[in-house]
Structure 1
Amino acid sequence: MNAPAPIVRLDRVRLDRGGRTILRDISLEVPKGQVVAVLGPSGSGKSTLLAALTGELEPASGTVEVFGRPMPTRNRDLLELRKGIGVMLQGNGLLTDLTAAENVALPLRAHTTLPKPVIERLVRMKLHAVGLRAAADAFPRELSGGMARRVALARALALDPPLMIYDEPLTGLDPIASGVVMSLVRRLNDTLGLTSIVVTHHVHETLPVADHAIVIANGQIVFSGSPEALSATEDPLVRQFLNGEPDGPIGFDAAPRNAQEAA
């Protein structure tokens, strides 16, 4: 019996911005049900990859497939596909004049015709799933950083997307809040039958919940394998990133060495 098609598949993708090549020869597959960590130093092109995964950036070459079909180029088809992709942004993106419950309700009001009582019930369920049902009436300014991040997660889950993409979900969080968010990512992925892509530079907090890890540096994928294999690798480029060493194969110059290393 043939294996099911991966939820996400990139084949020899090249991504350009402003006339520069940011990522080149990117090939990866994300199987259904997995948590895949996309790791790399700041400026390595992780956000550029995320833009390709959501259809915001069209590849200069190669193919991007989501849910077993090529990324659509027509706006209407792209908007329809995006309903199946939940994205949690690193800045939360919560509207400050709305309560937690009202923020979570936004996608349901924008993309469904469900009656108000049904939306309210779904919002309570989503907030309960992230442990914040009691904070439904709180405004973002009244929440801690970790709580606000979980409200953003509840909102990203509002339409029950089969694919979740997390863009630097731990930015600005303390170690305890980071642990809570990452354990929640793993639990929700398993209990809701999701597939999750975590784009981050927080290695040690992310690897314990990941099934597969990818490292991006110098414009390409330099590692792809299990978290255990990543921790054991002796590749000097990957070890430099994992150990946070300032000197090594990954350049941290003020100006990129060439266009292909720019991110």
Structure 2
Amino acid sequence: MSVSDTNAVTLDGLRLDRGGRSILRDIHLQVPTGSITAVLGPSGSGKSTLLAALTGELPASAGSVRVLGQAVPRRSRALLEMRKSIGVLLQGNGLLTDLSVADNVALPLRTHTRLPEILVRRLVDFKLNAVGLRAVADAYPRELSGGMARRVALARALALDPPLMIYDEPLTGLDPIASGVIMSLIQRLNDTLGLTSVIVSHHVHETLPICDQAVVIANGGLVFAGTPQQLQASDDPLVRQFLGGEPDGPIGFDAQARTEAA
């Protein structure tokens, strides 16, 4: 097995620009197949920008992005095919309020496959059962709690059996109990379905226990990559400031000052 086969994601010298300004630069990162990687960092540090590069929404300005063994394509048809192999759980869930829970989960199957309806419904039952919500198949998103809606969105993201899952701030707006349920579910699904997961989050203490690898983004670059244990033991001033939530330190929070410095 080659090195590229052992990694679901490989970033090599990646630079990402928006509006003529570099958001992230010189990013080198490998996400091993079957692992859970947490991408941590303060708000506005570029975590979601990094996700946009993985899905091909934002092309690399320099360097390379390889996902599931291939370079992220730029042609729309090839990019669409690649995206079918990536499940994305959005911050806002993205559920369609006029569709039932079952129809929300069925949407990717009806859009991207020609499966008979009876098989679509069986797959929907299976996905909802995997997140513990088969009993609410006929409910509508407005009738669900925040945690339940997040789990429905997760079932929909899994509908096409993607080998790579991306979670964009999966705990936003959830109470501690719902957050614990979601993180436990992410870990269980990753193990039982043989997935690779990338979790973008600023919820450090909730995310680290389920991760194999943790990376920290700050000041336009990757300031740490290692195991959660190595992160906790790090004496790097940037890492300590982020983990401790300190307002003063090497990580700046004045956006104008950062722009001028760049």
TM-score tier by shorter-chain length is over 0.9
Helix, strand or coil at the partner of 2:250? coil
Q: 1:234 to 1:204 in 2, by over 3 A?
A: same
Task: For residues 123-165 of structure 1, give each alpha carbon's deviation from its aligned partner in whole angstroms, at most 9, with x where no partner exists.
Answer: 0000000000011111111100000000000000000000000
Counterpart of 2:63, as a letter, is: G
Q: CA deviation at 1:234?
A: 1.2
Residue 100 of structure 2 corresponds to residue 93 of structure 1: no
Deviations 1:32-88 (A, max 9, x none): 100000000100000100000000000110000011111111100000000000000
Q: How far apart, in 2, do the equivalents of 1:256 and 1:186 lie?
A: 39
Matched ranges for 1:28-67 at <5 A: 28-67=29-68
Q: CA deviation at 1:256?
A: 3.6
- Give the structure 1 partner of residue 156 of structure 2: 155
Structure 1's 112 and 259: CA in aligned 2 closer, same or farther, altered over 3 A?
farther
Cross-structure match for 1:142: 143
Letter in 1 for 2:144: L
Q: Percent identity of the aligned residues?
A: 72
Between the aligned partners of 1:256 and 1:22, the Cα distance in structure 2 is: 14
Matches within 5 A, 1:203-214: 203-214=204-215
**In the alignment, residue 235 of structure 1 is paired with which amino acid?**
D
1:260–1:75 CA distance, 2 compared to 1 (3 A): farther
The 3 A distance-change label for structure 1 pair 153 and 259 is farther
Tell me the distance in 1 between the aligned counterparts of 2:6 and 2:25.
23
Query: What does 1:169-180 correspond to in 2, within 5 Å?
Result: 169-180=170-181
The runs of 4+ residues in structure 1 deviating greater than 4 Å are none
Residue 225 of structure 1 is matched in structure 2 by 226
Distance 2:145 2:256 in 1: 36
Give SS of 1:148's match: helix
* Separation (CA, whole Å) in 2 of partners of 1:260 and 1:88: 34
SS of equivalent to 1:248: coil
String of CA shifts for 1:83-138, please: whole Å, max 9, x gaps.
Answer: 00000000000001111111000000000000111000000000000000011111
Deviation at 1:259, TM superposition (A): 5.8
Structure 1 residues 72-111: aligned runs within 5 Å = 72-111=73-112
Q: Which moved more, 1:1-10 or 1:177-186?
A: 1-10
Which blocks of at least 5 consecutive residues in structure 1 are unaligned?
none
Q: Which amino acid aligns with 2:38?
A: A
* TM-score normalized with structure 2 length: 0.97
Unaligned ranges ≥5, structure 2:
none
User: Which residue identity lines up with residue 53 of structure 2 in the other structure?
Assistant: A
2:115 maps to 114
SS in 2 for 1:49: helix
Structure 2 residue identity aligned to 1:103: N
- Structure 1 residue 187, shift from structure 2 partner: 0.4
User: TM-score if structure 1 supplies the norm length?
Assistant: 0.97
